[in-house]
Structure 1
Amino acid sequence: MKLSVLVLITAFAVALSISLVNFHFQNSFYYLAVSFGVSFITSFIVFYYLMEKYIYSKVKLIYKMIHNLKLGKDLKDALGEYVSSDPINDVEQEVKEWAGAKKKEIEILKKQEQFRREFLSNVSHEFKTPLFAIQGYIETLQDCLLDDPEMAAKFLNKAEKNVERLSYLINDLDAISKLESGEVPINFEKFDFVGLAKEVMEGLEDKAKTKNVKLSFKEKYMHPALVNADREKIRQVLINLIQNSIKYGKDPGSTAIKIFELHDQYLIEVTDDGIGIDEKHLPRLFERFYRIDSHRSREVGGTGLGLAIVKHILEAHQQIISVRSTLQIGTTFAFTLEKAG
């Protein structure tokens, strides 16, 4: 409501009250009209002056500050030219929007705090497990080094494997940190994705055979698919996705790579017929250290960072990755790559 209308209503109410009181004592319509006119004009002038000077001007100032600071201007600019003809309603709207935005910020901060706690807990656990194992093996080695050299050799081998696990964990954490900060450059080049996919599948063929998993690249997808991306980082993406399908695949099982041509992209799918993933886990699947089944995940190995690295690599390419899965039927990871011109 504008200032003049607000003052008009207030002045009318005051003038009507005064004139009715005057009429009660004077019992004259003439004095009623005179008192109403005088009190209305006086009230209007006084109220307009007071509200303009002490209330409305302050509201306008508050509105200007809120509005301009929301636009990212500094305090000096925020106090510049007035930009609204009805600041009271605008202040209400601005405050509602501000409150909504702050509520969303608080919710995001709470989620980030929860993620931070989970991340620190996971990092601590992932480091403690191999460290305690190494400590135990070394203590045992000290006791049996001379008395039982064969047993000592076995424990030394186990300690070495745990050191390797620590090394992989540190390397993966370092890789994610560098990808997030942009320290790792993306070296775009034109290459044939089909040729890269064949190389990766041939390199993982022996590992797949040990799990009785068949890797396939269907004939209809064998024609060249030229993409513009970082070849070695996309190799890492494929290795992570195929290794996951082998780890959690059935025995016997299969993993297939498919390519679909879109307008200016290729859609690549890595599909397996493994144990599948419950739908409730899918939104968090690319989080660092997120494990669907902690016990099984540690049995099959890995740092729990593979899918997080995959997501960061593709985001660095300004591409996306998604997953769909059905329990006991299989899982499909799908990501896009830019077509080479």
Structure 2
Amino acid sequence: MLATSRGISLILAMAISALVAAFLSLMDDATTLLILVAAGLAFSAAYLLINITLEFLVFREIGNIYSMLEKIQKKDLSEIPIKSSKSSISPLRKINSVINSYALARQKEIDALQKNAEFRREFIADISHELKTPIFATQGYIHTLLDGAMDDKQVRMKFLKRAAKSLDSLDNLVQDLLTLNQMESGVIKFVFTDFDLKDVIEEVIEELEHKASKRKVHIDFKYDPERSYLTHADRQKIYRVCQNLIFNAVKYNHDEGQVKVTLKASKSNIQVDIKDDGQGIPPEDLKRIFERFYRVEKSRNKKEGGTGLGLAIVKHILEGHKSKISVSSTVGKGSIFSFSLPLVKPVVLESKEVVQKS
């Protein structure tokens, strides 16, 4: 490239020098020495200016473009610099900057498509596995009955109950998938009303007390009886959030463990903390527990039941309330799941009537 720019500069400089010498030779008072000096100066100046112009404004930028195109061809965009948007006297540098930006944008799109494709493959594999388990179990019980076990009344009732349980699990899975899909697509609308969050949590605890008592797990609910816990949200969906989180705290706790549910009201928010003293969640799993079908321990989770979609639904419900679910966990000591909702402050009128203010 240097040889090319120097060669072009040399040819053009010689041409300019010859033109200067020819022009001066037409003058009557021009001496041979003057013509030679002028031609030499013209050659030197023209050579330097043309060589610098070609090298720094043309050939070097063309070389950068070729180098960048080779990296794009090899899909190595990690070292492609993001050019500054500052003005440049070289139009080729602007072209190079535009190509760089375009290549980086296209690579981001490709990375996103590859990530979505990988997620799709994982999702298809997961849902196939989840559907296969209850279907195969039901098939086994039904075919066993058809092969002659139906004549035994005791066996028939036992297998029919197990088949019904498998079908119920399948129905729960399908319903959760439909709910999650409708939330993501915006089909399900949220119905916001004012309600007491404390009452909702008490209802959930009352519902789960029987399951907790089987493993002697104690659910402790702490709140300030002097404070108001009115919030503006979708009561049914927040009930499902509390139900899922408290149920998980009971399910993944150890026998005779404790679950602590705490309500804390600030000036504008109500924070809900659900803490268990179970085995905890490893750090590498914390970022993925809200993904569909993700299981920290597949064998234990499968044994305990569940569709693997509960936390994903919790995440989407809270996002619909412009809130987020957070989790902190220590292996061997337990986990804490937290979320917050807006606080509705009661306003006391002069007539002593209490109204709710959003």
TM-score category of the 2 structures, normalised to the smaller one:
0.7 to 0.9
1:264 pairs, out of 261, 268, 271, with 268
Aligned: 1:311 with 2:319: no
Q: Is the 8 A contact 2:194 2:232 kept in 1?
A: yes
Q: Report the CA distance between 1:153 and its aligned residue.
A: 1.0
Aligned: 1:167 with 2:182: no
Q: Deviations over 1:168-225 (max 9, x none)?
A: 0000000000000000001111222112111111111111111211111114377321
Aligned: 1:99 with 2:103: yes
Aligned counterpart, 1:335: 339
Aligned counterpart, 1:72: none
Aligned: 1:33 with 2:33: no
Counterparts of 2:242 and 2:167, CA distance in 1: 26
Q: Is the 8 A contact 2:17 2:43 kept in 1?
A: no
2:182 pairs, out of 171, 178, 181, with 178
Counterparts of 1:297 and 1:123, CA distance in 2: 15
Q: Is the 8 A contact 2:223 2:263 kept in 1?
A: no
- Map 1:37-186 onto structure 2 (within 5 A): 37=42, 86=89, 87-186=91-190
Q: Is the 8 A contact 1:267 1:334 kept in 2?
A: yes
> Given the superposition, is the C-alpha separation of residues 36 and 159 from structure 1 closer, same or farther in structure 2, using an over 3 Å criterion?
same
Q: Is the 8 A contact 1:18 1:35 kept in 2?
A: no
Aligned: 1:190 with 2:188: no
SS at match of 1:220: coil
> Given the superposition, is the C-alpha separation of residues 27 and 230 from structure 1 closer, same or farther in structure 2, using an over 3 Å criterion?
farther
Counterparts of 2:98 and 2:87, CA distance in 1: 12
2:107 partner amino acid:
K
Q: Deviations over 1:13-59 (max 9, x none)?
A: 94378649999xx9845244257659989xx99xx9xxxxxx9xxx9
Q: Report the CA distance between 1:265 and its aligned residue.
A: 2.6
Q: Report the CA distance between 1:331 and its aligned residue.
A: 0.5
Question: Which segment drifts farther, 275-284 or 103-112?
Answer: 103-112
Q: Is the 8 A contact 2:20 2:42 kept in 1?
A: no
Q: Deviations over 1:114-164 (max 9, x none)?
A: 111111001001111111111110111113345311111111110000000
Q: Is the 8 A contact 1:217 1:258 kept in 2?
A: yes
Counterparts of 1:128 and 1:339, CA distance in 2: 44
> Given the superposition, is the C-alpha separation of residues 221 and 286 from structure 1 closer, same or farther in structure 2, using an over 3 Å criterion?
farther
> Given the superposition, is the C-alpha separation of residues 101 and 259 from structure 1 closer, same or farther in structure 2, using an over 3 Å criterion?
farther
Aligned counterpart, 2:218: 214
Percent pairwise identity = 40
Q: Is the 8 A contact 1:221 1:259 kept in 2?
A: no
1:109 partner amino acid:
L
SS at match of 2:336: strand
Q: Which runs of 5+ in 2 are unaligned?
A: 1-7, 22-30, 63-85, 345-357
Counterparts of 1:35 and 1:29, CA distance in 2: 10
Q: Is the 8 A contact 1:324 1:333 kept in 2?
A: yes
2:300 pairs, out of 296, 302, 321, with 296
Aligned counterpart, 2:67: none
1:304 partner amino acid:
G
2:13 partner amino acid:
A
> Given the superposition, is the C-alpha separation of residues 241 and 27 from structure 1 closer, same or farther in structure 2, using an over 3 Å criterion?
farther
Q: CA RMSD in A?
A: 3.4
Question: Which segment drifts farther, 273-282 or 109-118?
Answer: 109-118
SS at match of 1:309: helix
> Given the superposition, is the C-alpha separation of residues 140 and 223 from structure 1 closer, same or farther in structure 2, using an over 3 Å criterion?
same
Larger Rg: 2
Aligned counterpart, 2:13: 15
| TM-score, scaled relative to structure 2 | 0.73
Counterparts of 1:146 and 1:213, CA distance in 2: 40
Counterparts of 2:216 and 2:15, CA distance in 1: 95
Question: Which segment drifts farther, 269-278 or 136-145?
Answer: 136-145
> Given the superposition, is the C-alpha separation of residues 336 and 146 from structure 1 closer, same or farther in structure 2, using an over 3 Å criterion?
closer
Aligned counterpart, 2:278: 274
2:285 partner amino acid:
H
Aligned counterpart, 1:238: 242
Q: Which runs of 5+ in 1 are unaligned?
A: 1-9, 49-54, 60-82
Question: Which segment drifts farther, 154-163 or 84-93?
Answer: 84-93
Counterparts of 2:45 and 2:168, CA distance in 1: 90
> Given the superposition, is the C-alpha separation of residues 229 and 219 from structure 1 closer, same or farther in structure 2, using an over 3 Å criterion?
closer
